[in-house]
Amino acid sequence: MKKLKLIYNPFSGDRSFKLSLDNCISKFQKAGYRVDILRIVENGDIQKHMKLINKNEYDAFVIAGGDGTVNIFINSVMKYALNDTPIGIMPSGTANDFASFLKLPSGFDECCDIICSGRIQHADVGRINDKYFINVCAGGLFSDVSFNINNKFKNMLGKLAYYIKAIEQIPTFVPLRMRITNSSDVFEDNFNLFLVLNSSGTGGIDKLSPTASINDGLFDFVGFRKVKITNMMGLIYKFFKGEYLEDERILFFRDNYIKIENLSDNDLYSQTDIDGEIGPEMPVEIKNIKNAVKIFY
């Protein structure tokens, strides 16, 4: 009999996944899986549990949660060399950007059917210093919103809470002097924000980079050069529409290697965000690990 490890975060999003748990188990069992379950209780549970799993012990992993939960899981999968086992994602968080890029349904029944079908595709993973991300690495303005937001506020307003928190930062933000190095060029400028995208979306916006692909071995780098606050919203609007590639205020390139250094005296925004979790502080080296994991789709 095949073995499936189901890991779920009961605190993600509207906390409704637990109501579908029995039905999901039933579907997996009918598909020939023996189901083992881990209910996340506190920070570190995923890492502690994954460390004890032997390579090829399971035929499938299923992770139920938002982008942050998926990020913690991917870090454990990569750290403990468990990335040969296909991964199913049940989008049950407030933010499910990576699942949206994969066009996964919001219904848990449909997600179970996708996993039971056995269809998989490969996906790239980004390594940033000694950590990993699968969707996006960000820095500068807005980059600390996801891990500084109050959980009650987030659960009450959903994605709207992220946008309200982000707008609060604009009047006081000081642009950072950065050096951006890729495989062939070096750029130095003042930036408000940068994104290293593996998929095409983040922050609930699913078409930020029209060229992004999760299995081409490349990242899409998008850097917002310093602009006046009065011009910032217009630029962000163009960005949300995916109409920014030719704008001189945007630094855009595609590469599999990126180094980012903070050259300013301002360390307040030196922290990076990876898939909604706290990432390393700059300087960071980011490398694309092509086709690192298998995802049910």
Of 68 and 233, the one with more pLDDT: 68
pLDDT tens for residues 155-181?
Answer: 443 443 444 344 455 545 678 899 999
Domain 2-118 = CATH 3.40.50.10330: yes
What's the chain's length in residues? 297
> What b-and-e string marks burial along 161-198, b requiring 16 or more CB atoms within 10 Å of the CB?
bbeebbeebeeebebbebebbbeeeeeeeebbbbbbbb
Would you say 149 and 213 are in contact if contact means Cβ atoms under 8 Å apart? Answer: no
Backbone angles phi, psi at 259, to 5 degrees: -115, 135
pLDDT at 77 over 70: yes
Model confidence at 242, pLDDT cuts 50, 70, 90, reads low
pLDDT at 290 over 90: yes
Would you say 226 and 192 are in contact if contact means Cβ atoms under 8 Å apart? Answer: yes
What's the chain's average pLDDT?
85
Of 144 and 138, the one with more pLDDT: 138
Model confidence at 207, pLDDT cuts 50, 70, 90, reads low
Query: Any idea which of 48-57, 89-98, 243-252, 285-294 has the lowest mean pLDDT?
Result: 243-252
pTM of the predicted protein model:
0.85
Rounded to 10°, the helix 21-30/108-117 angle is: 20
pLDDT at 184 over 90: yes
At residue 243, the pLDDT reads: 65
At residue 45, the pLDDT reads: 97
Q: Find, among 121, 81, 68, the residue nearest to 275 by Cα.
A: 68
Reduced to 3 states (helix: H, G, I; strand: E, B; else coil), residue 294 is: strand
Query: Domain limits of the chain?
Result: 2-118, 131-290
Topology (CATH level 3) of domain 131-290: Tumour Suppressor Smad4 (2.60.200)
Percent pLDDT > 90 in the chain is 59
pLDDT tens for residues 43-71?
Answer: 999 999 999 999 999 999 999 999 999 99
pLDDT at 224 over 90: no
